[in-house]
Amino acid sequence: MRFSPTRLESVLLIEPTVHRDGRGFFLETYKGKDFLEAGIPLSFVQDNHTKSKGGTLRGLHAQLRKAQGKLVRVTQGEIFDVAVDARPDSPTFGKWEGHKLSGDNFLQLYIPRGFLHGFCVLSPTAEVEYRCTDYYDAKDEIGVAWNDPYLKIQWPIPNPLLSEKDKGLRTFAEMGKDFESYRGLK
């Protein structure tokens, strides 16, 4: 397994070793000691699985007081996965990073606590699995508009399908003081 740093501090792109033969493939998607050696010391407590149709955009989401680190992978289809640094004391605060993850390329993205996360579906459908370092709490959930003018995320789809909740999210600037709870997170 290869762990590659990205432009955002603590965000890692993970490329597992895929063993292929005439029957198909085998790979390890998670091995605790390898992740620990790569600087990911947190344990995962919840796994989520979502299926979305093409053109769907989910995000940008996070939890405020129960911040979650996420390990994201795609089992079927292709997505453009985005992490936004919301840690006020980080040198990459307000910066974003996007990567294509697919069931064919097996890439995973580790997004630490203190980041917003979202993705859009590039294939007819996509199934995404992500492991979280804290439990989901609907009362603690926050979000930022996908098309925030400050972030200027270059989404590869112009008119995404959004949930009603995601249509009403605030801007990054409006969330400013809320992000103070992320100060000091790594």
61 is catalytic: yes
Which distant-in-sequence residues (6+ apart) come within 8 Å of 24 by Cβ?
A: none
Q: How many Cβ atoms sit within 10 Å of the Cβ of residue 142? A: 18
**pLDDT value for 21:** 94
From residue 142, alpha-carbon distances to 73, 75, 115, 157 in Å are 22, 26, 11, 23
Q: What is d(CA 115, CA 43) in angstroms, rounded to the nearest whole number?
A: 17
Class of domain 43-182: mainly beta
130 included as an active-site residue: yes
Q: How far apart are CA 91 and CA 69, in angstroms?
A: 19
Query: Catalytic one among 61, 117, 135, 136?
Result: 61
Measured CA to CA in angstroms, residue 136 lies from 45, 63, 174, 178 at distances of: 10, 8, 23, 18
What are 141's two structure tokens?
């959930």
With a cut of 50, list the residues of the chain below it in pLDDT.
none
- pLDDT at position 185: 87
According to the model, what pLDDT value does residue 177 have? 87
pLDDT in tens, 65-85: 999 999 999 999 999 999 999
The residue from 130, 135, 150, 182 that is catalytic is 130
Domain boundaries, the chain: 43-182
pTM of the full predicted structure? Answer: 0.94
